[in-house]
Amino acid sequence: MASRLMDVAIIGGGPAGLAAAIKARESGASDVTIIERAETPGGLLDQCVHNGFGLFYFKEDLTGPEFAQRLIEKAKDLDVNLELETMALNMTQDRKITACNSKGVFTIEAKAIILAMGCRERTREAIMIPGTRPAGIFTAGTAQRYVNVEGFVPGKEIVILGSGDVGMIMARRLTLEGAEVKAVVEVLPYVGGLIRNEVQCLIDFNIPCLLEHTVTEVRGRQRVEGVTIAKVDRNFDPIPGTEQMLECDTLLLSVGLIPENELSVAAGIELDPLTGGPLVDEGRQTNIPGIFAAGNVTHVHDLVDNVVYEGELAGSSAAEYASGAASPRKRIIRTRPGKNIRYVVPHSIAADKDAVLYLRVKEPGERVSIKVGDVLTKPLRFVKPSEMIKIEVPARDLRKIDERAKELEVNCDVRRSTG
């Protein structure tokens, strides 16, 4: 079986993988290969034909395919090797990847690996919606692919469960395609996705969003004929007597994304149960030396701009590791989510390096302070679980941490009114 040696191998050619490849090349890695399952690189950006991408990274308002194209061209200019229609089947701790394509099965031995497999959507089955099992139930991202790439409209009377970003974007997209979106149903007391999507996709198109409601039954034997929805109590249990029947031929689900880590787990990479992604350090290295992770495989992002930043971080770390020049980390401090913080990435930082923390809150809040240990405080007017918070912690602040401290707790406190 053919085996190839290289500096950096990247699994996944979406925005994280492309950005990592570009940065790895720019940082001096000579042989960089992306293994991508699909026929074209770009990942899910390909099906995101709406705009709003790149406002931070390119300081421009781009569509998904435009954003992807910029990365693809740059990667090609830098001679990044793209193995398309190629599936990584297995990965080992000594950084061997077994992959296959129509030419056969082959092995790659890489000095460093970057995991950039992205995420998948939570399904009807995972959230246990009762009822019949007909055609006409789609995750929002799959429906997006059908509409924007394949050229089909799944149905004409749509109910969407979950107000995640893809769900809201599809509410608008399907309306523009001539379908009727009867309602977006959200179990939480607030919208799940970005505020800008709520405004531009639901409010601007008069699509009702029913908060604190859920789908309690799917009806129809062959094709969806309707759903029953009901109001929920604080435990998210349906309240008897509040049921309403909605006739529809299609149910879309936008109920969450899960980092895709089957390859990682099989290789013994430790995951954070809070993010579903690998435990990583400030350079995005996992618990296995030489294996890095970036983008949605690490934690689900809401903006591709941040995915690209993270990809670049992993790319430069991987290139450094591959060159053998990586300096040992001196003092390591673990990060820990505290009050009203769902998770913090990275999970550990080196006290002598600048760090960027990505985090999410558990509950929405107004006029809060994010406190990083007692070294840094960042006041914020609003926080929402759907909007990721990015905090830069310079090394000079980290040096203030007590020498004996091993942990850095991040808390979200409500600010006291100052009158």
CB of 25 to another protein, least distance (A): 27
CA distance 132 to 217: 8
81-83 and 62-63 beta bridge pairing? unpaired
Please pick, from the candidates 4, 37, 329, 415, the single residue that binds another protein as defined by CB under 8 A.
37
Stretch in the footprint of another protein (CB under 8 A) among 15-23, 138-146, 335-343, 348-356:
138-146
Select the residue interacting with another protein from 55, 84, 135, 211 (CB under 8 A).
135
Q: 49 with 40: CB under 8 angstroms?
A: no
Q: Give 174 or 412: the residue with its C-beta nearer to another protein.
A: 174
How many whole angstroms separate alpha carbon 335 and alpha carbon 346?
7
| Rounded Cα gap, residues 208 and 214, in angstroms | 14
Q: For residues 175-194, which are near another protein according to CB under 8 A?
A: 177-179
- Tell whether residue 399 is a contact of another protein (CB under 8 A): no
First to last CA, the chain: 73
Query: Which of 80, 147, 267, 412 contacts another protein by CB under 8 A?
Result: 147
- Using DSSP's 3-state secondary structure scheme, residue 410 falls into strand
Contact criterion met (CB below 8 Å) for 45 and 335 = no
- Length of the chain equals 419
Q: For another protein, which stretch binds (CB under 8 A), given 19-27, 101-109, 385-393, 398-406?
A: 101-109
Tell me which of 151, 240, 324, 328 binds another protein, using CB under 8 A: 151
DSSP 392: E
Residues 228-287 that bind another protein (CB under 8 A): 238, 249-250, 262, 265
Q: Do the beta carbons of residue 124 and residue 20 sit within 8 Å? A: no
CB 406 within 8 A of CB 391: no
Report, in Å, the least distance between residue 255 CB and another protein: 12
Strand order in the sheet with 244-247: 213-219, 226-231, 244-247
How far, in Å, CA of 220 to CA of 233, rounded?
27
Binding another protein by CB under 8 A: which of 60, 73, 94, 152? 152
Query: Can you read off the two tokens belonging to residue 180?
Result: 């009727």
CA 381, 384, 390, 395 dihedral sign is positive
Q: Does residue 130 interact with another protein by CB under 8 A? A: yes
The CB-of-108 to another protein minimum distance in angstroms stands at 13
What are 389's strand-pairing partners?
359
145 part of the interface to another protein, by CB under 8 A:
yes
Sequence-ordered list of residues with C-beta below 8 angstroms from that of 37, at least 6 positions apart, any chain: 12, 85, 86, 87
Nearest to another protein of 169, 408 (CB atom): 169
Q: Does 1 bind another protein (CB under 8 A)?
A: yes
Strand partners, 211: 186
Q: Which of 120, 329, 334, 415 binds another protein (CB under 8 A)?
A: 120
Tell the smallest beta-carbon distance from residue 127 to another protein (Å).
9
Interaction between residue 133 and another protein (CB under 8 A)? yes
Please name which of 247, 261, 181, 238 lies closest in space to residue 218, comparing C-alpha atoms: 247
Rounded-to-integer distance, Cα 182 and Cα 4, Å = 53
Q: How many residues in the shown chain lie near another protein by CB under 8 A?
A: 54
Contact flag: residue 365 with another protein (CB under 8 A): no
Among 344, 382, 390, CA closest to 363? 382
**Does residue 278 have a cis bond before it (omega within 30 degrees)?**
no
Minimum distance of another protein from residue 343's CB (angstroms): 16
Binding another protein (rule: CB under 8 A), the pick from 197, 216, 286, 316 is 216
Per CB under 8 A, 339 contacts another protein: no
Applying CB under 8 A, the span of 123-131, 287-295, 297-305, 320-328 interacting with another protein comes to 123-131
The verdict on 387 binding another protein (CB under 8 A) reads no
Q: DSSP for 129-151, please give it.
A: --B---B-EEEHHHHHHIIIII-
- Checking DSSP bridges between strand 96-101 and strand 87-91, what pairing results, if any? antiparallel
The CB-of-31 to another protein minimum distance in angstroms stands at 23
Stretch that binds another protein, among 142-150, 189-197, 312-320, 407-415 (CB under 8 A): 142-150
In the bound complex, what is the minimum distance in angstroms from residue 86's beta carbon to another protein? 9
Stretch of 194-202, 212-220, 358-366, 385-393 lying at the interface with another protein (CB under 8 A): 212-220
Nearest approach in angstroms of CB 315 to another protein is: 24
Residues forming contacts to another protein in the complex (CB under 8 A) are 1, 37, 85, 87, 89, 98, 100-105, 120-121, 123-126, 128, 130-136, 139, 141-142, 145-147, 149-156, 177-179, 216-218, 221-223, 238, 249-250, 262, 265
